Amino acid sequence: MNPRLKSILAKTAVAAVVYVGVLLLVQVGIIDAYLQATMVTICVNIILAVSLNLVTGFTGQFSLGHAGFMAIGAYSTALITMSMPTVLGFILGLLVGAILAALVGFLIGLPTLRLRGDYLAIATLGMAEIIRVLLLNFEFSNGAAGLSGIPQFVNWNWLFVLTAGTIVLISNFLNSRHGRDCIAVREDEIAAESIGVRSTQAKTLAFSVGAFFGAIAGGVYASYFYFIKPDLFGFMQSINILVIVVLGGLGSISGSIIAAILLAVVSTLLQPFPEIRMILYSLVLVVLMVFRPQGIMGSRELSLSLFSKLLPGRRQTRTKVTAEDAA
Amino acid sequence: MEQFLQQVVNGLSIGSIYALIALGYTMVYGIIQLINFAHGDVYMVGAYVGYASMSFLGLDFFTSLLVAMAACTVLGVIIERVAYKPLRNSTRIAVLITAIGVSLLLEYTMMYFVGPEHRAYPALPGFMSHTFHFGEVVITMLQIMIVTISIVLMIVLQFIVRRTRLGKAMRAVSQDRDAAQLMGISVDNTISFTFALGSALAGAAGVLVGVYYNSVNPLMGILPGLKAFVAAVLGGIGLIPGALLGGYVIGATETFVASIGFSMLRDAVVFALLIIVLIFKPSGLLGKNVREKV
């Protein structure tokens, strides 16, 4: 069988197992309301991390403002579903939020993506802070008190479709011509430009696509947790997303997914010790970065070939070869 | 007019504090290209040390200022040695995440020990709460002292950087680390010294803010830290005069926006100003454009 088809089949199988597995566990009652909330957090974080990874990991543009896009999505979805509490309203809210965020990403990205490295980071951080302060002051967003009583439409089906959809769309984008442009820009912007890659276009595209999916995550968050306020989308949230991306490995989609799940598990385990939770979390962060600065996965992906390498049969042949080499 | 002068005075005092914090950011950035997110929390620790030495040890204001500066110097060097030095050759994003980790660690360790509540600074000696009236303009002794102390510290810093051997080493390392090492400069010690200087200034800023706003809490370092970093970028990061200019511009903008009745929006205005400056002059107000070499 051709390896590409094999890999697609394997991924579809994993997705199907996850979907049916969770569905069964919910039916049986093993996943209770608390675990469901954790699950939603994991999925929201996966969408956020994968979309930020596109910008930071694959295009090499260091953004510290992802929470700003999340806020746009969350408020759009909340406001539209509150005035139109149907499934159609939910879809409309998600779309409006995502398109609005992509537009803001485009408008902010076009001038600021010319900036390199840390300057871009600080400009995007500024953008997210501006969005937060505006939400604190606008009439429609109800200021610091935030919006509550948002109708809940997110269930496991929606969650699965949106999360898996984001992962599939972003990995397909990365395999497309435009995605390869982005990776070329990360590797060496000047070299990429000299072979005809329009680097500003590639960066702006990646930034807008990242913003689009960031807003979807915000919409899912708003629609599941009933309640949003501007402070949820502050500097710390942007940092949290970045931490997931870096812990998983810059330029590794499966790394982002693993790190999102891992962090949620760690934070659930630490729930009984609220006063030392953040201390331990920050210690883990520092220790991990000191000893494994490339993140859990580096820039590799979890794939069939990686698994087959781990199988014992292969390893034996490998050692035999090295033995022969030595001889 | 009086209204305007009053805002100038307020802007100067808050701007001095931003400038003091921004100096630490800009020096560290100049020497190892790291946005040291933990810097804002060093400033918070300085505020607490000042608080402790004033209210528990009963020391006077100036001694407490020195104690806080000394404590922050030690803290800054420890942070650099333990968290940043092992990452000298890693990617910048890994160092940045470490800096964020250190920042969270300082915040929540402090919160664990002192509790999350705001604390009021102890009352100051009589002469410091004295006020002067110039027509309608009111200047407190405290504001004069904040500006004076900041300026004195900045002059000392400028002296160290421009006139001493260590300062020369700092400038050399920030220009070209490898060449500096070949000339016999101990790069590690120089970087530690930079952290020590920056952290001492942050400690001083912490105590000054504590007495000025009369309140400290474990998360007080986040927003001033961010704004001081904005100030450093605004003036041109890596440049000491740039940090000063940026600090005063941010202080003035903030007080001005607040005085015309938009105090809720002042953070947004500061960040918008930053984005505009970055778009038109990416290297900051005083920075020179560096041509990229292939």
Among B113, B102, B105, B101, residue whose Cα is nearest residue B48: B113
- What is the least distance, in Å, from the CA of A179 to any CA of chain B? 22
Over residues B129-178, the pLDDT tens digits come to 788 888 778 888 888 888 999 889 888 998 998 899 999 999 999 888 89
ipTM: 0.82
Question: Both ends of chain B: CA-CA distance in Å?
Answer: 54
Q: Is residue A318 included in any domain, yes or no?
A: no
The whole-number pLDDT of residue A317 equals 44
In chain B, where are the structural domains located? 17-221
Contact A246 B230 (CB under 8 A): no
Q: Which of A211-220, A254-263, A314-323, B35-44 has the lowest mean pLDDT?
A: A314-323
* Contact residues on chain B for A248, CB-CB shorter than 8 A: none
Give me A293's structure tokens: 């600065």
- The residue among A51, A55, A74, A54 whose CA lies nearest residue A63 is A55
Averaged over A232-243, what is the pLDDT? 90
| Residues in chain B, total | 294
Site of tokens 């009369």: B214
Asked if residue A208 has pLDDT above 50, the reply is yes
What is chain A's Cα-based Rg? Answer: 21
- From A177's Cα to the closest Cα of chain B, the distance in A is 25
CA distance A161 to chain B (A): 31
pTM of model > 0.90: no
Task: Domain of residue A137: give its range.
Answer: 9-301
Q: Do A122 and B108 touch (CB under 8 A)?
A: no
Q: What is the pLDDT of residue B88?
A: 85
Query: What is the arithmetic mean of pLDDT over A273-288?
Result: 84
**Per-residue confidence at B215, pLDDT binned at 50, 70, 90?**
confident
Q: How near does any CA of chain A get to the CA of B1, in Å?
A: 29
Suggest the residue from A286, A291, A292, A294 to mutate for an interface test with chain B (most B CBs closer than 10 A): A286
**SS3 annotation, A216-256:** HHHHHHHHHHCCECHHHHCHHHHHHHHHHHHHHCCCCHHHH
Q: What is the pLDDT of residue A100?
A: 96
Q: What is the pLDDT of residues B166-179, one digit of tens each?
A: 999 999 998 888 99
The pLDDT of residue B75 is above 80: yes
Classify residue A314: in a domain, yes or no: no
Position A321 scores a pLDDT of 43
Residue B292 binned pLDDT confidence (cut-offs 50, 70, 90): low
Q: Is residue A327 a part of any domain in this protein?
A: no
**Structure-token pair, residue A168:** 């599939």
Phi first, then psi, for residue A88 (nearest 5°) are: -60, -40
Amino acid present at A227? F
Residues of B with CB under 8 A from a CB of A: 29, 33, 35, 83, 86-87, 90-95, 97-98, 100-105, 107-109, 111-112, 222, 226, 229-230, 233, 237, 264-265, 267-268, 271-272, 274-275, 278-279, 282, 292, 294
Close Cβ partners of B66 (under 8 Å, ≥ 6 residues apart): none
Whether A155 is covered by a domain: the verdict is yes
Which two tokens mark A71? 């806020």
In a domain, A226, yes or no: yes
* Residue A323 belongs to a domain: no
- Read off the pLDDT of residues B225-267 as tens digits, 9 standing for 90 and up: 888 988 988 888 888 888 989 999 999 999 988 888 888 888 8
Residue A316 predicted with pLDDT over 70:
no
What is the predicted pLDDT for the residue at A70? 96
A35 half-sphere exposure, CB direction, 13 A CA radius: 8
Instruction: Decide if A289 and B272 are in contact by the 8 Å CB cutoff.
Output: no
Best B41, B89, B105, B250 member to test A by mutation, with max A CBs in 10 Å, is: B105
B116 contacts B215 by C-beta, under 8 angstroms: no
Closest Cβ–Cβ partner in B86, B100, B268 for A239: B100
Residue A126, domain CATH: 1.10.3470
The answer to whether residue A92 sits within a structural domain is yes
Q: With CA atoms as reference, report the closest residue to A295 among A255, A240, A323.
A: A255
